[in-house]
Amino acid sequence: MSPELNKAKRRLLEGGFSFVLINRDKEYVSSLKGIAPIISLLENSPELLKGACVADKVIGKAAALLLIYGGVKEIFTQVISSHAITVLENEKKIIDFEKQVQYIVNRSGTGMCPMEKLVLEINDPLEGYRALS
């Protein structure tokens, strides 16, 4: 794990954020839920994602595809779906996580997250971005 990813992980765990990005001397933090911080970066500051280290509370396949599309280098998450791991490993991304789950659960706890369900059959990051944005 790089020093940048360690810093992002620390900020996530100690700062109460849902998403932390470190890219050299630049830092971006967010408390937005779900894939909102990643979509916001892709739309407003895509250059920040290229080569960045990201710490995110939860990463499902939707977030994984978006992070790959953005060019992120390393990722830490507290919870990751097996679908996300498969996509990230196929792209040779460095991932560190605390807990693996079969899939990300929706906010009401009644089934699969709608974003993960939407991209379940998508493996191309650009196609995933188009479907999610």
- Averaged over 106-132, what is the pLDDT? 94
* pLDDT surpassing 90 at residue 133: no
Domain boundaries 3-132, corresponding CATH code: 3.40.140.30
For residue 23, pLDDT beyond 90: yes
Within 8 A by CB and 6+ apart from 67, the residues are 38, 49, 54, 59, 75, 88, 93
Is 95 a residue whose pLDDT tops 90?
A: yes
Task: Supply the mean pLDDT for the chain.
Answer: 95
